[in-house]
Structures are given as structure tokens and as C-alpha cells.
Chains A and B, each alone.
Chain A
Amino acid sequence: EAGVVQSPRYKIIEKKQPVAFWCNPISGHNTLYWYRQNLGQGPELLIRYENEEAVDDSQLPKDRFSAERLKGVDSTLKIQPAELGDSAVYLCASSLDGDSYGELFFGEGSRLTVL
């Protein structure tokens, strides 16, 4: 069974440029999460989807970040324009039913460097 797939693995951009990350969750997983992991820190939730609905986006900086999950399958996270402080690893995770005691399956992450 294929795991959570993310691309690109690495991205280097200059500040004020746009960037997009793509995630394909495990087949059949209804819940999809985007996390940001700063260096030396734990993952912090940006947005959570139940199917195609964003049910928790309270931590998403909506002035520059946007996300979509069309058809409730794969998802895209966009930053426009990027700032120096956005340098981090962006992790995508999925779970089967979105219940609180389920397991999160993580992708390998997309490492963003903003110069």
C-alpha cells in the first residue's frame, strides 16, 4: 500500500515568491492534515480536512496561506507571498476516519527554504 506522498521534497525560493506543495494521502483516508514543523520543534497544525471540507483552519495564516482539497482526495497548500519566517518543513498526514485515537500517517515532508 502506498503511503502519503508529498512533493516537492525540497524547495528554495526567494522571499515574496509563491510556492505550492502537493499531498496525496493514503487511499481511503478521509482526513487530511497539513502541519508545519520548524527546526527543532514539533509539528503544528495548519489545517485539517474531513473529505473536502476544511474543518479546522484556525491556525492557517490566511493572509498568505491557502489550501484546497478538491474532490476530497489530494490537497495543495500554497504560500503567496513567502516570507523568511516560512522556512520550515511542511508535513502532510492522513488518517482513516479522523477519530482522535486513530493513527496519523505522515508523508516525508516538503522542506522550504526562503532566502
Chain B
Amino acid sequence: AQSVTQLGSHVSVSEGALVLLRCNYSSSVPPYLFWYVQYPNQGLQLLLKYTTGATLVKGINGFEAEFKKSETSFHLTKPSAHMSDAAEYFCAVSGTGNQFYFGTGTSLTVIP
């Protein structure tokens, strides 16, 4: 079985500051990990994904995430926050059976 835990339902950062959104996963099989972003009244959009290979994954809009098996983590970072980054972010895991499990989300606020 797979699951994800997102630490912190709300995160606030100043514009230009580092963004760090935390995600820990549980999986009985090698996981595939994803970060999705959801803007108000819109569907989810893929930011980045880890399947195999390089553990540091780069995505759209300057975001990246690092898969750390020893820590069962897949935290999302961005060096410098922009006002347009304000949104809801979801971590997700999949394994066998084409099932995707989403975390409860982290709402990111960017303070001017």
C-alpha cells in the first residue's frame, strides 16, 4: 500500500525567499512520486515527477524535488518565491496497479 504525508497544511514565505514544501511517503514497492499544483478553481497540473534514475528532479516554474529513499521523503523546493507561486501543492505516490494516492495538500502563500 502507498500513502503520502504532507507536513504543514499552510506555508507562508516572503517573495524572493526559499520555498520548501515537505512530503514523506510510504510504499511497499519502489515508488513513483509526483508533485502537482492547483491554482484556484482549476484542476491539478504536474510540476515534476520521479520515476527512476537521478534523484534530483527538476520541474516547471523553477521547482525541483529530491528523492531520498533513506528518509522516505520527496520535498519540493524553489530557491526564490514569486507571487505567482501562490497555490495549493499536492504530493502523490503511485506504485503497482496504476493507483495514485494524493496527500492532503499544502497551501502556499507568498507575501510581497
Contacts and interface: CB of A to CB of B under 8 A. Distances in A.
Given A40-B9, A41-B105, A104 B46 contact: yes
Contacts of A98: 98
Contacts of B90: 42-43
B102 A42 contact: yes
B56 interface: no
Contact of A4 (B9, B43, B104): B43
Nearest to A99: B98
A114 interface: no
A44 interface: yes
Q: What class of interface size applies to chain B in its complex with A?
A: 20 to 34
Contacts of A43: 44, 90, 102
A108 B104 CA distance: 18
A100 B94 contact: yes
A11 B34 CA distance: 30
A42 B105 contact: yes
Contact of B104 (A41, A91, A103, A107): A41
A108 B45 CA distance: 10
Contact of B42 (A41, A44, A50, A108): A108
Given A41-B104, A42-B103, A43-B90, A104 B98 contact: no
Given A41-B104, A43-B90, A103 B46 contact: yes
B82 interface: no
Contacts of A103: 34, 46, 49
Interface of A: 4, 31, 33, 40-45, 48, 50, 55-56, 91, 93, 98-101, 103-104, 106-109, 111
